[in-house]
Structures are given as structure tokens and as C-alpha cells.
Amino acid sequence: MTRQEIVDITDLRNPTLTPIQQQALAGAAAHPIQFTRAAILDAARAETGLSDFGAADFMERLDVWLQAVGEDADASDITRINLHQMCVRYAATRLRIEDMIRRHPDILKIKIERPIIVAGLPRSGTTHLLGLIGADSRLRSLPWWEATAPVPIPGEPAPRGSADPRWTRANQGWQGYDALLPYMKLMHEFSPDHISEDIELQAVNFSSYLLEWLAHVPRWRDYYFANDQTGTYAYLKRGLQVLTFIHGPNRWVLKCPQHMEQLPVLKKTFPDATFVITHRDPVASIQSAITMSCYAARVFRRRIDTQGYLDYWVDRYQRLLRRCVDDRDCMPPAQTLDVYFHEWTRDPDMILREIYRRADLPLTDETLAELHAYLEQHEHGAGGKVVYNLQRDFGTSAEEIRSKFDFYFKRFAVVTEVK
């Protein structure tokens, strides 16, 4: 085993840009973006040759997205280009989903039966748990290449013996992203085969908290909280039905941190699911999230406001966890399991057996061997470990942050990790 690389990003506040980062910023500045609803929808129509977006209520949410991004004065030109491309991608995906349902209306009769759904704090190990359960060949999960392009482009050729063109495009995007921000893969990988959050399907309805991770958009955050998310979760299910139609099986394993603040809607949308809610010291999650965001900010922001990141995400985590505390008891006891990070790291097999028991899915020796093989191939932190320094980078301490989450520690048996 090679010695684990320790990465200490000491220039979060005042980054030293690489030649690739400098070139990317200069190139983006030379191509200003027209950030309007008409420009995005017209681009999606031109890309797909389609025109039916389905229910038109998403347009109001798209308008709020665009207004919120327009108000973000510190968004870099790279951010604006990325968000424009992302909006066009979601609009084009929506056109393709609606077209497939129009041509195959029985898609909407497909049952998404007894999914296993993971909800837990961002940057808290939920991706690792999702990938592990997703290694069970009896279950259907959502790799990044498919999450970003759920519906194949009709007639698009795939050279004999080569990968799906959607995988190839996702890999090209990942290689470019990795070249631009090489430490990002140690914090949040976007390689084509890694298992994605289902938030990508929610975003096709132009909702979710996704936009908050990509720009400073308090207008969107407030709009999102003020509006019921039932329709967006219904669209998530619609996307899963299309994906199941393209190829099964239909026993899904899904994950999104946002589910922690949408438990009643999640239960209503997937009433027969097994719900796995993971819990961890929020300081561990927050320090990872804000360090990751500030590292990426060297190309995504015009200036880096470390205090702003700290304030925003401490507040955002409070909102998310308060909703989880308030709504946890609405979940069906026999179908819901609280998983604690310290117990998971000590004995993952015990937790896996309980998840599978509640999901009424046999955990055979063969399946357990399959999952163990995944763990060996995806050892946590094998690629390197990032150093977190709250005092140096954000002028705060673990104790100061943790004091704002007493309500969470009182409700759940979470163990303090970060000193």
C-alpha cells in the first residue's frame, strides 16, 4: 500500500493560480453569456429538435434561478458559463424525458418499488454508503454519466466496442475539471462511474438546493423554502420511471442530503421505501464543505469571502438539521433506520445487515463478498487526505460551530469528532 498523500491547501484565502486556471478564467471572460430564459430554452430546443417541456410551472423556478444568479456579483465568468450550460442541459433533458413519455405513455405505470433511500449531511460519508450498497448487482443506482444525461440521444452512434457516448462526454468533462481543480477529487469526485445523488433528476424540474452549492443565491434559497417540493419529488420519480424503462431493474438505491429537510415529501413520494438517515458531527461535515467550496472558489468566484462561506453554510446546516429534527418522527419506524457515523466506521457489516433486513432484501454471503470487494477497491481516503484548519482558514473553532447545533445533539446520539 502506498503512503497516503496529505494535502494542505494553505492558500484558500489568497490563492496562487496555476497557468491552467489563469487560462480558463481569461477564456471565459472573452465569451460573455446571455443569461435569459429565452436563451436557455431556445438552446435546449435547438440541441434536441424538440419543443414540449411538459408542465410549464418550471419556468417560474427557472426565472428565479436566473435572477438569483444575476444578483451574484462575485460569480466568475467560469461560473456563469457553467451555470448557463447546466441550465441548457437540464432543459434539454426535460425535453427528452417528456418526448420519451409521450412516445411510451406506459412509462408512467412503472412502479418504483421499495427503493433504499439514503439521507445524510453533505460531506459525511453518504456517498461512500451509497456506492457500497450500489455495488449490489440486484439494485439499480445512478452513475454520474447517466445522471447528467438520463435519456440517450436518438440515433447517436456508439463506435463498436466503445463506451456509451454519454459516458465518454462525462469522462471528458471530468478530465477537464480535474485538470482545473486537481485536489477536488479528494473531496468530491465527479468521475463518470461514481454513483450520483438523485438531485440531478430534481434539477430537471429546476428546483432543489443544488444551486446554493454553485453560486451565492439567497433569493433562490428563500424561494425554495417557501414552496412545497412535492412536485419536484414527483418529477424525480418520473425520471426514475424513464430510466427504469430504458433498462431495469426497478429496485433503486438513491441518496441526497437534501432529503433530510424534505422527509414528509420523501415519504409521500416513496411510501414503501427503506429510509436510511445518517448522522455525524456537523462540524466534520461543515469544515469539509466550506474548505471544498473555498478551494473551488479560486476559479468560480471573483473574490473569496471565507467568512461569508462560514456564515452561509452554518446557517444552512442549521435549517437542514432543524427540519430533520422536527420531521424525523413522521417517518415509518419499521422502514427507517438512523445510522451513526461512529458505529458505521466501527462495524459496517452490522449496519448493512440492518439496512437489508428493513429493506426485506437477503444479505447473502455472495452479496456480502460483493460489497466487501467494493470496500477494498474504494478504501476511504486512499487517494489522499485533505487537511482542515478552521482557525487558520475561517477564524473559528470546532467548539464555536458546534455550539450552534445543540438542538441536533439533544435529538440524536451523535458523537463529537472534530476537536
- 3-state SS, the chain, equals CCCCCEECCCCCCCCCCCHHHHHHHHHHHCCCCCCCHHHHHHHHHHHHCCCCCCCCCHHHHHHHHHHHHHCCCCECHHHHHHHHHHHHHHHHHHHHHHHHHHHCHHHHHCCCCCCEEEEECCCCCHHHHHHHHHCCCCCECCEHHHHCCCCCCCCCCCCCCCCCHHHHHHHHHHHHHHHHCCCHHHCCCCCCCCECCCHHHHHHHCCCCHHHHCCCCHHHHHHHHHCCCHHHHHHHHHHHHHHHHHCCCCCEEEECHHHHHCHHHHHHHCCCCEEEEEECCHHHHHHHHHHHHHHHHHHHECCCCHHHHHHHHHHHHHHHHHHHHHHHHHCCHHHEEEEEHHHHHHCHHHHHHHHHHHCCCCCCHHHHHHHHHHHHHCCCCCCCEECCCHHHHHCCCHHHHHHHHHHHHHHCCCCCCCC
Output the pLDDT for position 1: 36
What pLDDT, on a 0 to 100 scale, did the predictor assign at position 148? 96
Distance of CA 242 to the CA centre of its chain: 20
Cell of 334: 419499521
Q: Name the residue among 400, 390, 381 with its Cα closest to residue 12.
A: 390
Residue 32 confidence (pLDDT): 87
What is the distance of C-alpha 71 from the center of its chain?
Answer: 24
Place of cell 436566473: 66
Cα separation, 71 vs 93, whole angstroms: 26
Backbone phi, then psi, for 274, in 5-degree steps? -100, 125
pTM confidence score: 0.95
Cα three-residue angle 373-377-381, rounded to 5 degrees: 130
Q: How confident is the model at residue 404, as a pLDDT?
A: 98
pLDDT in tens, the chain (419 residues): 345 789 999 999 999 999 999 999 999 999 988 889 999 999 999 999 999 999 999 999 999 999 999 999 999 999 999 999 999 999 999 999 999 999 999 999 999 999 999 999 987 778 888 888 999 989 999 999 999 999 999 888 766 666 899 999 999 999 999 999 999 999 888 899 999 999 999 999 999 999 999 999 999 999 999 999 999 999 999 999 999 999 988 899 999 999 999 999 999 999 999 999 999 999 999 999 999 999 999 999 999 999 999 999 999 999 999 999 999 999 999 999 999 999 988 998 999 999 999 999 999 888 988 898 888 887 665 668 899 999 999 999 999 999 999 999 999 999 999 98
Cα-trace Rg, the chain: 21
CA distance 56 to 65: 15
Q: What pLDDT is stored for residue 307 in this prediction?
A: 97
Q: Please report the pLDDT score of residue 2 as a whole number.
A: 44
